Structure 1
């Protein structure tokens, strides 16, 4: 989309699983993109000793932690794991923060100075709350995964956007599917409820024996109460699934406890499917 003399590409990104080497590789690619993005813009920037300022290829990397930590880096060599928060919640990388951050750089420029070719990559590593009953499970999981590229020319804007997305695609996973809008309702009404009804009423003789001598009104209330309880159980399991498979993951920060839970999840899923199939086949 053109904005005056500028072009913009902005979109929500997919789901990714990053190792430390993945992040540093992407950072190196972005640094190379930035090296040739705005050389003329910084032509008048000088170091305190009067020499030309040549560090404009550096990127600003901001890392946010779960307990309010904030880590800022301009190091083009990559990120040091030892300096990262224990639980990273967001990483932001852009190419317009470094020169504006330095206080010891002088420039022959006016207040209208700006960086014409820019990009900003935001990666969200937050997880859903398993016992969250305040939000609608039907909604898409809120996240800040976004890539924003702006440039003077359409070719630079499209090319930079495509290069960054292509680099990210090597880390792409399918987790995003679990966070889609209306997935909760789809599974609930097309799978969970039909299977429960088949399992409960597929064997009429058992139902008759259990409810013999009980008022139909009591049976109806018990059925609705049980259905409501099972719905809440399903909601917790649904949130648990989203927590196990967040939109983005950092491999080096995935705790062993979560790996164990994923194994339990796989076992329970296979057991439930086997039980349902066996029950339906037996009927």
Structure 2
């Protein structure tokens, strides 16, 4: 709103000059304050729009964007602004620190950002090794669980006995706990880190789709984690769409049909992309 008002500065000044009514005048100092406010609010507008997306990975962007916002704040603090704007800048940053100051410590967001080939461990600084270790451990746990499930299923089909009564039960448990999964997952994670960084304007999900054969276990983990949303905005959009579908004139639509319509409405861009 402020930006649009500044675009109309000449028109506003001309209009106020021709009106005979006793209206409050906007001084040159106030115009300067508006321009400075627009400048310091620009980064917050950018991050809000980006985090509110729904057609790309948003949770992976939280950590690097928050760090970028801190860097921008330091640059803005070094510039010369009026006292009112400086006070607004301080309050903005204090509010940011109170709400998102510890966002980098979230293990969920750390894993998501690490699995994004555009960032990997580049944004974690001194804690990069810890994030790598946590992701490797998480990957090892998933592989071990998948192996145990596969072994139990295969043993049930082969013997027809339950796990507790099977003569191979103790042996299978011992094998499952002694499989050297750690070294394999460490190699896969290290190869992933040594691969080229994906340009920031590229799509990370497409990258994983083309590299799922090279990093099979990491690709499964990325498929599970990269779908995490950074905000509730996409969900709120879906509720708005539901209000347009489920109306008084469509009150005979059943739940299954309404769900199908909303699903198609939310995913039509993927279908159009495949057709192209």
Which band: TM-score by shorter chain? under 0.3
Select the structure that is richer in helix.
2
TM-score, scaled relative to structure 2:
0.24
TM-score, scaled relative to structure 1:
0.23
